[in-house]
Structures are given as structure tokens and as C-alpha cells.
């Protein structure tokens, strides 16, 4: 018996989303990663909020700092689809589950997506609470959300147009190459040394697979990392997830203001 196509499942989820939110078509999607949840209220008026489990193909949130909710938000003349949680690769649900939200957003009409995350930073000048634009990525999961002979170009995966727009809004924004490890364990100092050697500046456990799926779907991608801690071995301090969430809470006002100024221009 053949399994249901992940694209068909995304179409079904998008149709159910339209029924539950009363919004036939959304314009821009946002995925709020660890530490970003407190910033959501600055995006605009929430016209609907549903549980991810109300939609086909989604599971309950399994990580602290992710609410398991999806909001439809009206911001100016745009309908935003805001995911307050994501499925991580390390949860063991498979790559299609990791990118199901992105594919649902594309099926719901979104032409652009903002992928955010909480991550470790390799630059000591990036103190916890610093937002950094993702200029490119290195995917160390060894997996792709695309199967078959579908050769998707990733040259400008993280839109140079959107990054330039962000710097117009906030000139102080820096950018860097994001490296995804499978997780859920944090990286070793030796692995961080490898990341530095191969050109990485940010490390985390999400985002790259979602970005690839978004590009496959024809969406324009903006990636923003919130540096929540210095990467392993730089500060000499042990890493923990509560530190990630605390950095997000401390930076909530700044992140909300940043997103509130950026999203209307996408």
C-alpha cells in the first residue's frame, strides 16, 4: 500500500487551515524558533489561533519554548501565517514531518517565508540576544526533503533581496553562515572548531531542511537567527536549553520590533 504523498497531505492541511481560520489565502509565513515566541504579539492582530494537531499531518509540540499553535495574523494588507512551533529532525518523525509546515504554508498561498531559530554563535561579539541574518547554510544532517531527480538550485537560497531590505530597516544587522547539526545533543568544542574551519558562524538544530523545502515550493526565504549563547568551547560554560529560552525572553521586545518592521515590507 502506497503512503500518502507529503504534498497531498500539505494540500489537505492548507484546505483545513482555510476552513478553521476563515482566511482563504495567506501571503507570508513565519516559523518562530526557540526563544522567539515572546515576540509574536508585535506582528499584528491575531484573527485566529488553532492547535497544530487540528490540521492533517501535524503533531503536538515536543520542545519547551514551542507552543504547538498556529496563528493567522492580519498585518496591514497582508495575511500572515505564524507557526509558533516546529518539528525538529531529532524528534525522529522523519524529514517529511520536519518540512510539513513549510509545505502547508506554500499550499496556503504563501509566497515568502521567514525562518527563525535560536542558535549558538561563533563570533564573541555576538552577545546573547543578537539577531543575525542567515546568508547561507551548511546542512550536516545528511538528509534532504526532496526525493527523486528534482535538482533544485540553492544558489540564492536565503534571498539577497530580503537581506538587503532587512539591512535598510536595521543597518546594524550582521549576517553569517548557519550550520545545522542533527541534535538533540549540543556540539562538542571540536565540532565547533570544524564549523569555524568550513566557514560557519552559527550553529543549531533546525532551519536548513525547511529552507530547502521552501525553495522547492518556489517561496522566497528569509532566515534570522537569534544568538542565544556562545557555541561550545568558546565561553567555557556548559550549554542548556533554558539558557536559549531566557535569551529569547530578554530579547523579546527587540525581536518583536524587528519582525514588526521587516514583515510588512516582504
Greatest mean pLDDT among 123-132, 212-221, 235-244: 212-221
Name all domains of the chain by residue range, CATH numbers in brackets: 6-265 (3.40.50.1580)
Q: Which residue has the cell 526563544?
A: 35
Residue 162: how many other CB atoms lie within 10 Å: 20
Q: Which of 19, 24, 168, 187 is catalytic?
A: 187
Greatest mean pLDDT among 34-38, 93-97, 256-260: 93-97
Task: Record the pTM.
Answer: 0.93
User: Whole-angstrom Cα distance, residue 219 to residue 211?
Assistant: 9
Q: Respond yes or no on whether the N-terminal peptide bond of residue 32 is cis (omega within 30° of 0).
A: no
Residue 3 or residue 123, greater confidence? 123
- 124 is a catalytic site residue: no
Residue 208 or residue 265, greater confidence? 208
Cα distances from 197 to residues 30, 114, 119, 134, 191, in angstroms, run 31, 28, 18, 18, 10
Q: For residue 62, what pLDDT is reported?
A: 64
- DSSP-derived 3-state class of residue 69: strand
> Is the pLDDT reported for residue 235 higher than 70?
no
Task: Name the pLDDT band for 1 (thresholds 50, 70, 90).
Answer: very low
Q: For residue 63, what pLDDT is reported?
A: 59
Q: For residue 233, what pLDDT is reported?
A: 64
> Is the pLDDT reported for residue 187 higher than 50?
yes
> Is the pLDDT reported for residue 224 higher than 60?
yes
Task: Name the pLDDT band for 147 (thresholds 50, 70, 90).
Answer: very high
Q: Output the average pLDDT for the chain.
A: 91
Average pLDDT over residues 13-32: 97
Average pLDDT over residues 163-172: 97
Amino acid at each position: 500500500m502506497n503512503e500518502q504523498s507529503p504534498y497531498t497531505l500539505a494540500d489537505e492541511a492548507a484546505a483545513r487551515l482555510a476552513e478553521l481560520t476563515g482566511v482563504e489565502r495567506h501571503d507570508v509565513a513565519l516559523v518562530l524558533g526557540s526563544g522567539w515566541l515572546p515576540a509574536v504579539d508585535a506582528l499584528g492582530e491575531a484573527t485566529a489561533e488553532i492547535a497544530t494537531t487540528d490540521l492533517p499531518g501535524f503533531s503536538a509540540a515536543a520542545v519547551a519554548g514551542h507552543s504547538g499553535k498556529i496563528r493567522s495574523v492580519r498585518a496591514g494588507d497582508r495575511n500572515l501565517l505564524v507557526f509558533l512551533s516546529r518539528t525538529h529532525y531529532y524528534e525522529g518523525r522523519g524529514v517529511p514531518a520536519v518540512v510539513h509546515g513549510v509545505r502547508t504554508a506554500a499550499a496556503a498561498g504563501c509566497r515568502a517565508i521567514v525562518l527563525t531559530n535560536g542558535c549558538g554563535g561563533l563570533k564573541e561579539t555576538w552577545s546573547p540576544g543578537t539577531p543575525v541574518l542567515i546568508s547561507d547554510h551548511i546542512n550536516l544532517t545528511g538528509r534532504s526533503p526532496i526525493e527523486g531527480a528534482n535538482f533544485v538550485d540553492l544558489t540564492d537560497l536565503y534571498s539577497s533581496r530580503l537581506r538587503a531590505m532587512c539591512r535598510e530597516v536595521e543597518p546594524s544587522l550582521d549576517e553569517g553562515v548557519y550550520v545545522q547539526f542533527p541534535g538533540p545533543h549540543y556540539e562538542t568544542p571540536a565540532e565547533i572548531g570544524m564549523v569555524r574551519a568550513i566557514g560557519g558562524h552559527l550553529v543549531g538544530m533546525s532551519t536548513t531542511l525547511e529552507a530547502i523545502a521552501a525553495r522547492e515550493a518556489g517561496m522566497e526565504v528569509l532566515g534570522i537567527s537569534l544568538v542565544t549563547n556562545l557555541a561550545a568551547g568558546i565561553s567555557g560554560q556548559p550549554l542548556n536549553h533554558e539558557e536559549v529560552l531566557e535569551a529569547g525572553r530578554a530579547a523579546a521586545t527587540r525581536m518583536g520590533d524587528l519582525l514588526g518592521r521587516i514583515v510588512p515590507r516582504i
